Structure 1
Amino acid sequence: MAINTDHLNELYERVDALRGYLDYEKRKVRIIELTEQTQNPEFWNDPDKAQSIMKELNHEKSLVEGWDNLNDLRDSINVYLEFQEMGEDVESDIQTEYTKLEKALDEMELRNMLSGPDDHRDAIVTFNPGAGGTESQDWGEMLYRMHTRWAEKAGFKISVIDYQDGDVAGLKSATIEVQGDNAYGFLKAESGVHRLVRVSPFDSNARRHTSFCSVFVAPLIDDTIEVNINESEVELQRFHSSGAGGQNVNKVETGVRLIWEGELSDGSTQKVVAECQQERSQLQNREKAMVLLKSRIYELEKEIQEAEKAKLEGSKSKNEWGSQIRSYVFDDQRVKDHRTNYETSDVGGVMDGDLDEFIKAYLLQDAEV
């Protein structure tokens, strides 16, 4: 099949436009600056700062190299087109490179939408099933698996920070850390309440049940972000580590739970809980739990600012915490996102982590706001 010249020229124009959107030249200069910093003999004297610089360097490189790849594919297509004009049979080669360019360009344009100040950060994802006992706890476990499967397919690293088994099946609560470039930028699309409608396998009368589970996504903050909380407002609880994230199970109280109750910038009082049982010592778990606590408070403050901005602009907040964002109706073979109206009948694929189209629809809508 011959390549549509108009469509090819349109792709080329998008490649050129993306170069400008990315601030390509500015990023190349930044890469040189960061690389020079890494060559300082004292660079690793401050490990936390060094890791932050390395992360920024890798992020900048990935964007520059991503555009370079697009340009290489364009050059390759042009070479094959010249061969074709000379009578060479290279139609299949052109089609192959064309398909690669189209796919890579879509991916890079999507990444370009992740321009928020925290989009590049790692993500903290917490699952909290609603009331409903075993059915809701099983739904929590299904969402936990769905999101970890998506993260694995996307090439992210996953660490289980806390996992509390359900009474019969599923989970009572769980928290994971998803590490990788733009983890928060993508996963912020999943923050909200997820609703399941199905015939419950735990109901002997095979009745249809509705269950809810909240998924809360926060960026993992570092030393570049300051979150001030009064230590006297933080309650420390210790518990025996257990479940999927546990170590030293039932031997010593290494698990740590931090509970903060205080006032946010809008005057509201919030109770925020952070647990960690992934580390071997109580001290390490406490330090990690404090980072989680501050990350969640930071995300709540971001949502307040977003809501205030939306109010001033006369628009709806993109993702109000506690709002129902998506329904999964198993009997009807339908999953629908209520923010974007994107839906699919591929329930099995979605539950196995095929979330890209939902995330893309959210980011596209977000970019238009």
Structure 2
Amino acid sequence: MAGPDFESEIKQLTATMHTIEQVLDVPKMEREIADLGEQVAAPDLWDDQANATRVTGRLSGLQGQVDRFHELQQRIDDLSVLAELAAEEADAETLAEAEAELVRVKKAVEGLEVRTLLSGEYDEREAIVSIRAGAGGVDAADFAETLMRMYTRWAERNKYPVEVYDVSYAEEAGIKSAEFAIHAPYAYGTLSVDAGTHRLVRISPFDNQGRRQTSFAAVEVVPQLEQTDEIEVDENDLRVDVFRSGGPGGQSVNTTDSAVRLTHLPTGIVVSCQNEKSQLQNKAAAMIVLKAKLLAKKKAEEAALKKDLKGDVAASWGDQMRNYVLNPYQIVKDLRTGYEVGNPQAVFDGDIDGFLEAGIRWRRGADFADD
């Protein structure tokens, strides 16, 4: 690639970054980081553990977003210098290095640009993710656990804090269900495109005859509540059950009945939490999740947008949104966007940004089509 092409490409990247900075309002994010930093430094921060978790999670998520923006700006500046050096010295090796970096930077900028498409009412919120094993027996339970690992690995890659509220382990392997929060700005808007039914096809490791098995798991994503959200829960509408926290294989991991299950009788919504040490803390955490789900239900009913908020989570044949095929060939394909990759293991290890970005663009296009 000749020098003038580099100059044009870098100017375009710089212009795009300027637009991203305005849309995301990076200076506002930096002001909030400073304010949260003061709150974190307060000696009484952990007197209120729920608030402390919220504050530290928000700070970590915001700092990660701002760092990502500035690091990308620096890469563009460094690329400009590298391209100039290659042109001045007519160095083929340096030129090849600059070309490779240009491709990587363009991809990174495109990924960051997708964030500007997240303009829904709750898109900027943190996310509560629920995963439930569907049809497929023990394979489905194993698949559900694999999906949980996939999303937590994705969060780790992006340095987003994860707070696990509840995991219900299956008897033989895997999990029946799980509930966890990802504390990061725009986590809901980003992950909500993954809500729906996921389908796995593979040779079952649990079948002694080595037969191919199809199994399903449902992913639900709801936005984290904020103090301005008005969701009141009448204690008379709740059934509260307490039980001992459980681990893999049905083992008890707690000698007291500290885990809490809340059932909202009018809607039938059930939420459990066993992550905290005390019954009181678990009830408070479960109430956060319950209110978030009630908010999603309320807004979905008001706007008739249930699929947008929660996705289709029947977890059975005919309604899947993504296929993970390990046999007779290997591919992961999103059935809505057509985006696919041929390395399922990388996907299961948290490399899902391509699917999320394609989903966000697809949803944005669908929204325009509906208008």
Structure 2 counterpart SS, 1:212: strand
1:92-136 deviation line (CA, Å, top 9, x unaligned): 674476356324422321332333343333322212112443232
Tell me the residue number matched to 1:356.
353
* Contact 1:255-1:285 at 8 Å conserved across structures: yes
Q: For residue 242 of structure 1, report the CA deviation from its aligned partner.
A: 1.4
1:174 and 2:178 matched: yes
Tell me the residue number matched to 2:321.
325
Q: Which amino acid aligns with 1:326?
A: R
* Contact 1:22-1:112 at 8 Å conserved across structures: no
Alignment of 1:33-182 (within 5 A): 35=34, 66-80=68-82, 87=89, 89=91, 91=95, 94-95=98-99, 98-99=102-103, 101-182=105-186
Point out where structure 2 has 5 or more consecutive residues left out of the alignment: none
Select the residue among 252, 259, 266 that pairs with 1:255: 259
Structure 2 counterpart SS, 1:211: strand
For 2:332 and 2:87, locate their aligned partners in 1 and report how far apart those are by CA, in whole Å: 48
* Contact 2:333-2:339 at 8 Å conserved across structures: yes
Tell me the residue number matched to 2:332.
335
Cα distance change, pair 350–34 in 1 and its aligned pair in 2 (3 A): closer
Tell me the residue number matched to 2:215.
211
Cα distance change, pair 71–187 in 1 and its aligned pair in 2 (3 A): closer
* Contact 1:156-1:183 at 8 Å conserved across structures: no
* Contact 2:197-2:322 at 8 Å conserved across structures: yes
For 2:188 and 2:142, locate their aligned partners in 1 and report how far apart those are by CA, in whole Å: 25
Cα distance change, pair 317–225 in 1 and its aligned pair in 2 (3 A): closer
Cα distance change, pair 208–17 in 1 and its aligned pair in 2 (3 A): closer
**TM-score, normalised to structure 2's length?**
0.78
Tell me the residue number matched to 1:191.
195
**TM-score, normalised to structure 1's length?**
0.79
Q: For residue 227 of structure 1, report the CA deviation from its aligned partner.
A: 1.6
Q: Which amino acid aligns with 2:222?
A: A
For 2:25 and 2:34, locate their aligned partners in 1 and report how far apart those are by CA, in whole Å: 14
Greater CA deviation, 8-17 or 282-291?
8-17
Kindly tell me the number of residue pairs found equivalent between the two proteins.
356
Tell me the residue number matched to 2:11.
12
* Contact 1:11-1:102 at 8 Å conserved across structures: no
Highest RCO, 1 vs 2 (Cα 8 Å, sep ≥ 6)? 2
Cα distance change, pair 18–168 in 1 and its aligned pair in 2 (3 A): same
Q: Which amino acid aligns with 2:325?
A: V
Greater CA deviation, 27-36 or 225-234?
27-36
Q: Which amino acid aligns with 1:299?
A: A
* Contact 2:198-2:323 at 8 Å conserved across structures: yes
* Contact 1:236-1:256 at 8 Å conserved across structures: yes
Identity of aligned residues (%): 32
Cα distance change, pair 283–125 in 1 and its aligned pair in 2 (3 A): same
Select the residue among 207, 223, 228 that pairs with 2:227: 223
Q: Which amino acid aligns with 1:19?
A: H
Q: For residue 366 of structure 1, report the CA deviation from its aligned partner.
A: 2.0
For 1:104 and 1:223, locate their aligned partners in 2 and report how far apart those are by CA, in whole Å: 34
Q: For residue 60 of structure 1, report the CA deviation from its aligned partner.
A: 6.5
Q: For residue 252 of structure 1, report the CA deviation from its aligned partner.
A: 1.0
Structure 1 counterpart SS, 2:268: strand
* Contact 1:196-1:329 at 8 Å conserved across structures: yes
Q: For residue 325 of structure 1, report the CA deviation from its aligned partner.
A: 1.3
Tell me the residue number matched to 2:298.
301
